[in-house]
Amino acid sequence: METKLYSYMQELMEKYEELKIPYKYSLQEVDHILKKKYMAIELDKKDFEDLKGDIHVQYEKISKCYTIQNEEVLNSLYSAKEKVDHFIMIEFLKKHNFNDDDTDSKRIEMSMEMNQGKRINVILESENQYISGFTLQGRSNKLLNELVVFKGIDSDKCNLENHEFLYYVQALLESGYIN
């Protein structure tokens, strides 16, 4: 079994090399793809000031922020399980009344929209022309995997012994770049 798995992984590596997928996508390329493929709308970084307190985000490196709200696009991004989760949340919210007297009702509304599957936010960090990190607000494994592909990997890490590369190959498979 181990030999077959290794052969399969070698085959995936060869497919990856044949496709000549960039090791990393530029911010400009990612901007174009998000806007064209996902009808993403660019937002101001100030809309995400609450991320300043997030230990997983380097706020000063945030270079681009987007929201995806097109129903058709969102429907294509969600798995069956994610759609069921959104339905459960919508039904839950119908039965529970929440006060809207919070001083930051815009942030609460945005959070509710994400929990109901009506919105996904993408926040990109960069140190230069390439993505150094990202935050995905809202759940979509499909989009998560594509963002991993966009962030890319250093060429010297592209070997089957490297766990980061294996995760990257998995993202390539899940997002349909290789099959």
pTM of the model: 0.87
Domain ranges of the chain: 24-152
Distances (CA, A) of 44 to 49, 74, 174: 10, 21, 30
Each residue's pLDDT tens digit, 1-38: 778 888 998 888 888 888 888 889 999 999 999 999 99
pLDDT at 141 over 90: yes
The CA R_g of the chain, rounded to the nearest whole Å, is 18
Number of H helices, E strands in the chain: 7, 4
The residue whose two tokens read 């681009």 is 64
The sign of the torsion formed by the CA atoms of 109, 110, 114, 117 equals positive
pLDDT at 97 over 70: no
